[in-house]
Structure formats: C-alpha cells, structure tokens
Amino acid sequence: MPPLTGGGKARKDPAPSRLSYKMKRLWRRAAFRRAVTVHGPIVIAVASIGWAAAQPQIRADVVELTAMVRSAVSERPEFAVRRIDVRGNNLTPEVAQEVRASLSPWLGASSLAADAAEIRAAVGQIGWVESAGVRLSAPETLIVTVRERRPVAIWRRGEALTLLGAAGEHIAPLAARAERPNLPLIAGDGADRAVADALAVIAAAAGVGPRLRGLVRVGERRWNAVIQDGPLVMLPALRAPDAMGYLAALDAGENVLSRDVTHVDLRLADRPTLRLSAEAMEALQAARKPRKPGKDA
Amino acid sequence: MNPYPADMRAMRERLRAALRRGLIAVLDVGTSQTVCLILQVDAAALEQAEAKGSAHDAHAALRVVGAGITRSRGVRFGEIADMEDSERAIRTALERAEKSVGARVDQVIATVSGARPRSIGAFGEVELEGEEATSRDISRALHASDWPDRREGREVIHAMPVNFTLDGRGSTPDPRGMAAKSLAVDLHAVSVDRTPLRNLAASVRRCDLELAGVVVGSYASGLSSLVEDEQKLGAACIDLGAGSSDIAIFLRGHLIHADSVRMGGDHLTQDISVGLSMPMDAAERIKTFHGGAVATGLDDRELIEAPHIGETHPADRRKISRSALIGVIRPRLEEILEDVRRRLDSAGFQQLPGRRIVLTGGAAQLTGIEETAQRILGRQVRIGRPMRIAGLPQAVSGPDCAAVVGLALHAARPQDEIWDFEPVAAFASRRRIAGAVRWFRDNW
C-alpha cells in the first residue's frame, strides 16, 4: 500500500517563474495594456487598410465585391417596385397615362436603387407636368404626386400648333385649333417667350371682342394683332396693352376696324396711322380732287 | 556623520510619491511566512489627517486591497539565507496580492527582522538662532548629535528624535515656535547588520520592486499590537516569530529600544522533531494543533498521533500523550522568554512607568503562553492581535501578521526620522536643483 501521508514527492513550489512574473507585471502596467489592447490594434488596422488601399488589384476586387453584394441585396424580389400610383388634383387621365408611361423603367426595378431626384426629372420631361413629388410607400408602391400644368395659349408655327403654359413652356402639340377654342392664338418666332405679354394684350382687347383672331410676334419685339375681316393692327413694343385699349376705343367711337383699312399702325403712340386699301385710296383721292369747273362740264 | 542619508532620503521620497499615487505594497519576509499587502491610500484624506495630526484618521485613509501569503523559503533567523528561494517567495506573495488588485505596485516597504538590531541613544544641543525654536534649529540640533553606529558592518535604519528639551525642560513633543535659548534633542537610532539588510534589498530589487522604506520588524509589530496608551505609558512588544523573537520598547509614543533574540517558534518545532524523533512537518503540525505551554492532569490522558521518522505504515503510528509534547516545548519556551527578560532588564525596562508586555507573532498563539510569560516576565502580559485596518483579510489579522499590519500603519504615518529634516546646507540653490532632478527621476 502506498503511503497516505508524507514520503511523497515534495510539493511543487507555487512561485511564478521569473519570466511569467515579469510578463504579468508588465501586463498590469496600464500604459502597456492600453498600447496592446487599444493603440496597437488601431495602428495595425489603419496600416493594413492603407496597404490594401494602395494595391490596385485589391481595391478593384473590393469595389467589385461591394457592387456584387449591393446588387445581390437590392435585387431581391422583396425590394421591387410593383405598383406606381400617380396622384394629382384634377389630373387629366391622359396626363396620368403619360406619366405612368414615363415611369415604366422603374416598374419592377429595385426600390433601393430608385432615386427620387431622377424620377422627378423623368416626370418633369413631360410638358404637362409642372411639378412632381415622389415617395416610396413600403413595401412596393411608388407614389408620384403630379401637379398638372394649365395651358394658357396656342402657338402656331406654320401648320404646327403647340399648347403653351403661363411661362411659355411647351406643354404638348395640338392637333387642331378647334380642340381648344377658348385659348388665344399667338404666332411668330419668339412668341412662346412672351406669353405673359400676349395675354396682357389680349386682356386689353376685350373691347375688340371675338374679332381678334390672334397676335403675331414681329421681330421677337412687338405684336401685330390680326382682326377677323379687318385691318392688321401694328402694336408698339412698349405699352402694347395701352395701345390695344386705344384701338378698342377708336373702334367703339369711329368703327375703325370695319372700315376699308388694311393696316392700323399704333407703333408711335402720338401718331396713329391708318393705311387704306388701294380702292379706298382711289376713292378718297377721287373725292378729294378739286373739281375743275370748266373741264368736266 | 550621516552614513547613508541619501539612501534613506531617497526611500522616503519614494514612499511619499507612492502615497501620492495611492498604491503601495508592504512586505514582511519572515522565517516561516512571507506576507505582502497592497494598500490603497486616499491621498486627500491622508493629507487632511496629516494637517490634523491624527493617527486614527491617517489609518482610516488606508485600505488593504490585496493580500498574498506564502510559505517562506530560504530565510533563517529572520535573515535571508538563500537569495534565489527568498526571491521566489517574494514573487509568489506579490503576485498573489497584485492579482487580487489587478494593478501593478512598484514601491514596497519591508521589515528587517533578526539582523541583530541594536539601539543607540544620542543627544544633540544647539543654541537657538532666534527667539523661538524653528525647524531649522531642530535640524541643526539633530545633526549636532552623534548617532551613527561605528562598528564594522552595521547600518542605521532608524534615527528618530524622541524627545526635545528646551532650556533643560523636557518632554516637548513639538518645540517649533516655543521661546527658549537652547534646544536639545534626544535621538534614538537603530542599527542592524549590513549583510541581511543588503540581502533583503537585493531580493526586493530582483523582483523589480523599489524599496520605499525599511522598518525594524519589532517596531512594526509594536505599532500594530500596542494600543496608543500602551505606547505612551511604556510597554514592550515581543514578536515571537519563527526564527527570532524581536523586542521593541515604546515610551511616549516613540520606539526607545529595539532588540532581538535569535530563537523562535522554529526552535520549538526542531525540539519536538529531535526530542520525539518526528519528521519536521509532522512536528510543526503537532505543535500547531496540540502544542501548549502549561500541562494539566488531563493532558496525560490525551493521546496524540506522532509518527516516527521513517515510519510509513499508518498502522504503526505511535501515540504520545499531550503532556509529553508540552514537556518538550516548555523548556525551550522558557529559555526564549528568559532570554527576552534578560534583554528587557538590561534595557532598563523595569524603570519605565508602565511595564506592560504584549506578546505577538506566530508563537504567541501557543496555548498557555500567557501564563508562562506572566510567570517569567511579570504580571502585565497580554497577547496582542494587530489593529484592524479596512479591508484586512481574515488570514492576515492574526498575531502572526502583526509586523505586516504594523508596516501598513507605518506607511500611512511614518515616524519622523533624521533624514526627514533637511540638513542645514550652505548651497541652497544647488539642493533645489538636485530636488527638481530627483522629483523627475521619482515621478517619470
């Protein structure tokens, strides 16, 4: 039987070796511990990231990988846009249809990739749209709120008719003048840029009434008013509405538009001029010729 | 005239720096066990206590946060006999203590036990420079006294002013600001053998530690075991260690005598081992569990298992009566106490106003030692346990750890020593530069 007590091997000395003692004490030095646990890792991480960034191959790989991961996530069916909801106050169905058509690239695409500014720009391409708001209603509906532009005038260039907005925006082409009988007609180069001006002139021409066929921009500077079965009214570049009011007054008083006049020139405010038709001129000259008393008789 | 003031002063500076930083270790390398305590010091509270001069408050600023106890190796008679082994013991104790704190400690105060301490009394007197005594006068008086131990191989580790006399009127605790013509100072110096001191310093240094002070073991035990009144009225603390029994006599709160008997508890064990032919560890075990100093009739009938040397089979175990054990212990114990009494007598202990004797140290736990000591040393004997300080673990609160607890108290409130008083030097500016350099070296 082995001995129960004593006689065994001497107990092992529990003393730490000098090396382990020194290492433990070094570890208990706060500055050293901080250097190893905090500063060291930071330096290593920064250095390795810097080194990796300096290698073109690694950087390309990282970019590729990032793109792959990003697309893998964003192209999951859970993130796709399934419905596009076009809203707006008093929205014309055709306009809504057109907006929806312009948004077709986003239908079925990932909602993570959808960029509101881009969508707004795409919708803004449509002439009918004055402004648009875009928001994403989770999980799969894209809501586009559209404010429709109201046409204020029709612009004729040759045979083509274009609807104009209040600031001269080209809204849409128009097939026939008869579709929009209530809108005034303007023509001439640069007329679209002076829509507001034209509207003011037309407002002042209320006295002339339905006989005003439209305005023609001349030299991108001033207007000519075309009167149905009447003369061509040449308006000045400045204060055209006043001149138009003056014309209305002339017409009311002297019935000038119904006379045999081809042009009413109002370009000089202090000197309105009328151009008579050739027959009228002859008649006038005939009327004015002093009758030689002995010749005729 | 001041043999190692630079060393001592440097240690004091390290102690102050450590106290400011708030963590210091105390280390008692004894014959049987090596104890290390790590103290957390509340520097602000300590400063307040310093200002108030309250020892109690200073002790309250301490907290023991880590303790490590291990069996000593390579220590005999309280002196280091094997550097390698003792270093291992210090490493173990400090490692355990540091592990429980989780912080590193660099400064350590150590006890010197054994090493034949010797007390030297000295006296210095100067005429005051002005009307009133100043600390400059105290410094001059201290340095006017002749205190070094001139014997070969000795080193002074304490030199405390214990009494100031102004114009022949004694017992002034603090003479500063008092009007007088002359100032005299009584100095008590303690010298120890240089070799054990050097060995201790080397062991500590080899453990990557800085020594922030050395204290005579008996003085440290006295600080923790004697109550304040005993220290004032006069009392002796006898630290019955394993390898040596250290004596410290206190009067008016100061250590006035230190001595050591080179016998201790290990000699009891050795006697048991030799006298009853038992292995040493069995002898130690029997001494601890069954040992005593006074035999009664009952002890004849109480049988103790006492294995013979070389005996392995449990069935062969011999049994001895407890009185036989006590019969071996007692003569040696009486011899130790007789030696202690002789030393006390030669120190003039009988002339002190109070003659209380406090026994502490590992051997003071022996049953019946109080009665034996009373018979030999006088009526006023008690067993002293160290003072409680905050956070002191149970394992370190027995009489065997009186010295290390005393060291902790000393760390919080070190007694003024001669090297705490700046010598009156001619080159004040050079000293200031040296002070700045030292501050940098200590703090960076």
pLDDT tens-digit readout, B338-378: 999 999 999 888 888 888 999 998 888 888 899 999 999 88
Q: Is A170 on the interface with B (CB under 8 A)?
A: no
What residues in B contact A22, CB-CB < 8 Å? 208
Chain A nearest-CA residue for B97: A25
Q: Which residues of B311-349 are buried (b: 16+ CB within 10 A; e: fewer)?
A: beeeeeeeebbbbbbbebbbebbeebbebbbebbeebeb
A19 and chain B: CB distance < 8 Å anywhere? no
Please tell me if residue B316 touches chain A, with a CB cutoff of 8 Å.
no
The tokens for B195 are: 């070799």
**Å between A33 CA and nearest CA of chain B:** 11
**Amino acid in the structure at residue B193:** D
Q: Do the Cβ atoms of A106 and A46 come closer than 8 Å? A: no
Residues A278, A280, A284, CA angle at the centre, nearest 5°? 115
Residue A210's SS3 state is helix
Residue among B86, B90, B88 at smallest CA distance from B74: B86
CA distance A19 to chain B (A): 11
- pLDDT category at A73 given cuts 50, 70, 90 is confident
pLDDT tens-place string over residues B32-80? 899 999 999 888 888 888 787 777 778 888 899 999 999 888 888 888 8
Given B208, B281, B312, which is nearest A22 (Cβ)?
Answer: B208
Alpha-carbon separation of residue A106 from A81, A116, A128, A209, A290 (angstroms): 7, 11, 20, 49, 84
Please tell me the distance from the alpha carbon of residue B307 to that of residue B11, in angstroms, as a whole number: 49
pLDDT of res. B295 = 82
ipTM score above 0.90:
no
The whole-angstrom distance between A38's CA and the closest CA on chain B is 18
Residue A295 pLDDT exceeds 70: no
Q: Tell me the per-residue pLDDT of A194-236, one tens digit each, with 9 for 90 and over.
A: 888 888 888 887 777 778 888 888 888 888 888 888 888 888 8
Sign of CA dihedral A91, A95, A98, A99: negative
Strands B169-172 and B154-166: antiparallel
Q: Which two tokens stand for residue B170?
A: 């004694």
The pLDDT of residue A48 is above 90: yes
| pLDDT above 90: residue B237 | yes
- A13 CB near a chain B CB, below 8 Å? yes
Count of other CB atoms within 10 angstroms of residue B80: 27
* Closest CB from A4, A18, A28 relative to B98: A28
Q: How far apart are CA B189 and CA B5, in angstroms?
A: 13
Residue B77: its pLDDT value, please? Answer: 86
Nearest to B88 among A13, A25, A28 (CB): A13
Contacts with B70 from chain A: Cβ below 8 Å? 14-15
Residue B89 touches chain A, beta carbons under 8 Å: yes
Who has greater pLDDT, B240 or A292?
A: B240
Walk across the sheet containing A129-137 and list its strands.
A83-87, A141-148, A129-137
Residue A132: its H or E element:
strand A129-137
The contacts of residue A284 (CB under 8 Å, 6+ apart) are A276
Chain A residues within an 8 Å CB radius of B73: 13
Pairwise CA distance, residues B72 & B427, whole Å: 47
* Structure token pair of residue A33: 């511990």
Q: How far apart are CA A154 and CA A164, in angstroms?
A: 6
> What residues have CB less than 8 Å from B90, skipping those under 6 apart?
B27, B29, B34, B36, B203, B204, B207, B209
Pairwise CA distance, residues B239 & B343, whole Å: 14
Q: Tell me how crowded residue A169 is: count the other CB atoms within 10 A of its CB.
A: 18
For residue A7, is pLDDT > 50? no
Amino acid residing at A77 = P
Task: Tokens for B201, please give them.
Answer: 């310093």
Mean pLDDT score, A97-105 = 85
Among the partner-chain residues B98, B208, B279, the one whose CB lies closest to the CB of A6 is: B279
DSSP 8-state secondary structure symbol assigned to residue A37: I
pTM of the model: 0.66
**Mean pLDDT across chain B:** 86
Provide the H-helix boundaries in B277-321: 280-290, 297-301
DSSP letter (8 states) at residue B167: T
- Which residue carries 């009186």 as its tokens? B402
